[in-house]
A and B are shown apart, each in its own frame.
Chain A
Amino acid sequence: MIENSKCECGHNNPVGTILCEHCGKPLDDSITHKDDLVQEMRYEGKARRSQTAQTSPFDLIWNFFSSVKVAIILIIITLAAAGIGTIFPQEVFVPSSDPASYYEKHYGIWGKLYHSFGFSDMYSSWWFVLLVSMIGISLVICSLDRVIPLYKALKNQQVVKNVEFIQRQRISHSERIPGEEKEQKIDQIARELSKRFYHIRRENGALLAEKGRISRWGPYINHIGLIIFLLGLLFRYIPGWYLNESIWVREGEVKNVPETPYYVKNERFIMEFYEQEKTPESLNDEDPVVKKYQTNAVLYKKDSRTGKLKAVKKYPIIVNDPLKYNDLLLYQSGFQTGLLDQITFKVTEKKSKTELGTFTVNLNKIRRDQVYQVGNLTVRPLEYYPDFALENNRPVTRSQEPNRPAFIFEVKEKGEETGEKSWVISGTNFENLMAENQYSIDLAKLHTVNASGLMVRVDRSLHIIFIGGMIFMVGLIMGFYWHHRRVWVRYSNGTLYVGGHTNKNWFSFCNELSGMEVFRGYDLRPTKK
């Protein structure tokens, strides 16, 4: 470090300055032996906050995160961790409710280790989230540490630069020319450079030409975009900002959309296949390829005062085209076909074997007080077991799915006080049990429907995430498709000094300058001299 930061041009520089803020003269002893100033030019030789010795805890943290080296290490660790996470499928993709034994069973000892180290659910693990957060902090601090001094330096650029500064640029040339030609020469340089869209500034016979400065802001803008993106991810944790549910809706059914005032009706589920002759022969022996999954849905909103449902949107939901209503999104995500929906029974008078008629039970709307009229009989469901089984000789239901529906009906003749009980169990004949019964009830017909699996999403931070992504792209484009190029010209003691600097792509810069008439015969190659 230098003790005296006053430059020979008279400017007082902050401690840590490498190139004089005013004239550009190299100040630091450590760089006097260097071939060129490429490294030092990166932040215009300005003193950065992180490089001025300070020892408060805040400064220590600041200095740690302001290092690009730290940022790169964080990136590499994240990269490696993300890679490890793909060796075996993540838990969310595993079709098992007991992941621990699943990994061991399918992937052996490695699977067991993988699971016990937490790699099987690593993307939501605390340490992975911590890594990403640290990258976020690094983005903020790295950017602030550099962009402020850089902005100040570029804003206060001086036209007249120290001769040593010009000579030690990576592209530089000097030639002796007579004093009376110098004005004409510099005029010509200015003319030709401005033809190439350089912005020209002249002062005391010196010249500074500059273009593409926005390239320098690219990295900072893309970092801002990334920070907004990461914040968008954080905002998901605000209550009500993120919803991830799924529901099954049968055809004809109206179902509440979880955690919202909305209801959705599945009018019809449609599955289409490609015509077989359209698929190539080689595939013909395989299953037909599905062309379309579609749910014709109607979205209703419940009026909070009257409690009535009002249709707000009718939409055919297909894969890649969800139903959108305000923040709510409904996606086609699955289907079930042939679900039992209604059963038709027929009632027979046993002695005469005359059919008295039929009645239909809607399994989803079955109620105890419901009464079916069959001729002059009334039939009432006393019990309903959707998934019938016997446990200790008592009837139970194993689930609410109608896998093996069983019923106890009460059949009453008109005017009678008590009726007779009648068992109907699908797949079983109970005739002997109810031998004294006058009427028998039998299955006549099964009615099936399809059901659609709908994914329910609300993601209010999506716009923020999207805006972050766009800002990131703008920053990248500015940074990579523009180049900050500068040319300094100065005449001193009979010699014309020309120096050039670009933040990247030296050969393109050299090609541009070498193609100019005024620089003919100059050696402007960016080789290390």
Chain B
Amino acid sequence: MEQLMENLLFCTFFLYLIASLAFVMGISKDKNHNNEQKKKRWGNIGIGLTIVGVVFQTLFIVTRMMIGGHFPTSNMFEFIAFLCYAIAIAFIVIYFIYQTVVLGAFVMPLAVILLAYASVFPKDIQPLIPALQSYWLPIHVSTAALGQGAFAVGFIAGLVYLIKSAGNQKEGKNAFWLEVTLVVVLMFLGFSLFHLAFGMVDYEAKFSHFVDGEANVQEYSLPPIVSPANSQVIQLDSFPGLDEPLFEAPVWMKGKEAASKLNSVIWSVIAGLILYGVLRLMLHKPLRMALYPLVKGLDMDLVDEISYRSIAIGFPIFTLGALIFAMIWAHEAWGRFWGWDPKEVWALITWLFYSAYLHLRLSRGWHGLKSSWLAVGGFIIIMINLIAINLVITGLHSYA
């Protein structure tokens, strides 16, 4: 059964990957004249593969539920994998409204990168602590994730708009920040690759230290650039150029395995920059310029509308899942529907941000560039809430 589950996950990953390739094939330049026909054919293949991928991931979720006895959205691995599922579903919906192949060539790679990133976290099925034992777990988390999936599609459409409008610019604010955004996306990919590589050689380092007077051991799966505050080395596999940690984590970082997570963040930045450097050397030009030809023929107003539409579709779903269902469950579990827990606050921030986006767009006429940047900003807030809040700040939601 476990084997079946792993195979299903692998198939899902593989299907999303080749779906991405199919979409890229659809929009890549060709000498032939029947470009539209080719685009349509590859688009059909791409969306077909995406749908099959979603079916496989559904089976994966069902199998995992049968093994673990609970809906798999209870730790970081499960949630991020579910977020990919939500992104794929949101994309399918948008694809059937607008039939844009270009969007697939950017959304599906995001799903692939996030799925790879998910597998960095421990994949064990963990028993549910009492606070999570409720039918609200699947209801609240899955609706919130579906809303975020739609926001992610909005973010990608915004990104496509930015590539189209600033991708061929040599310099300027838009061009610079667009490049930065792309590098951040690469950091996720680079970190996943590093993690995979060090996992293959079974890299391990261990530190002992005290958290609030209790002895604790932190395990690292990547070479420790930063060690826990006031810690002793238990084990340290060799890594060239790193005989000992370079510095200690600040004392106030007290979340579960905070130092190890900070170490991961540092490695993500390094990995992203290395990956970017390699790509830059291979392509001989900035990433945005390399991507620009893919989106050249696109109608900008259409992409702008897709970005807005995805967010408009996601907003009610996100509100329902991340705020209303969340409040009902919080009331059931903790006796108050709102408690200013960091995760709650950041869900509220996300919601306020997107409502500001909607007001700016609908009432103040912020379209195009401004609107696209806001779509990017919204997704950054979602990522902060997912990664920083779960991993760095302690709170009621830090389960992973």
Contact = CB atoms under 8 A, between A and B. Distances in A.
Contacts of A129: none
A282 B127 contact: no
Contacts of B333: 319-320
A291 interface: yes
Interface in A74-89: 75-76, 78-79, 82-83, 85-86, 88-89
A480 B316 contact: yes
Contacts of A85: 340, 345
Nearest to B100: A507
Interface string B119-154: 000101111011101101000000000000000000
B324 interface: yes
A72 B359 contact: yes
Interface string A222-252: 0000000000000000000000100000000
A85 to B, nearest CB: 6
B240 interface: no
A387 B14 CA distance: 66
B356 A72 contact: yes
A16 interface: no
A465 B330 CA distance: 14
Interface in A85-100: 85-86, 88-90, 92-93
B348 interface: yes
Interface string B327-363: 1100111111100101001101100110110011011
A508 B97 contact: yes
Contact of B130 (A39, A318, A526): A318
A506 B299 CA distance: 13
Nearest to A330: B335
B78 to A, nearest CB: 14
A197 interface: no
B130 A465 contact: no
Interface stretch (B165-173, B176-184, B305-313): B305-313
A371 to B, nearest CB: 44
Interface residues of A, number: 64
Interface in A241-265: 244
A481 B127 CA distance: 39
A443 interface: no
A472 B360 CA distance: 19
Interface stretch (A187-195, A272-280, A413-421): A272-280
Contacts of A76: 352, 356
A505 interface: yes
Interface string B287-313: 000000000000101100100110011
Contact of A280 (B97, B124, B130): B124
A346 interface: no
A293 B130 contact: yes
B29 interface: no
Contacts of B359: 68, 71-72, 75
A82 B332 contact: no
A477 B316 contact: yes
A504 interface: yes
A331 B345 CA distance: 23
Contacts of A290: 129-130
A75 B352 CA distance: 6
A86 B337 contact: no
B127 A279 contact: yes
Given A107-B252, A279-B127, 4 more contacts: A79-B356, A108-B252, A480-B316, A508-B305
28 contacts: A42-B363, A68-B363, A69-B364, A75-B352, A76-B356, A78-B352, A82-B345, A82-B348, A86-B393, A92-B340, A106-B252, A111-B252, A123-B340, A289-B126, A289-B127, A289-B129, A292-B133, A319-B130, A320-B131, A320-B134, A320-B136, A455-B335, A462-B331, A504-B308, A505-B308, A507-B98, A507-B302, A508-B305
Interface of A: 39, 42, 68-69, 71-72, 75-76, 78-79, 82-83, 85-86, 88-90, 92-93, 106-108, 111, 123, 244, 274, 278-280, 282-283, 289-293, 318-322, 329, 331, 333, 455, 457, 462, 465-466, 469, 472-473, 476-477, 480-481, 504-508, 526-528
Interface of B: 97-98, 122, 124-127, 129-131, 133-134, 136, 251-252, 299, 301-302, 305, 308-309, 312-313, 315-316, 319-320, 323-324, 327-328, 331-337, 340, 342, 345-346, 348-349, 352-353, 355-356, 359-360, 362-365, 389, 393-395
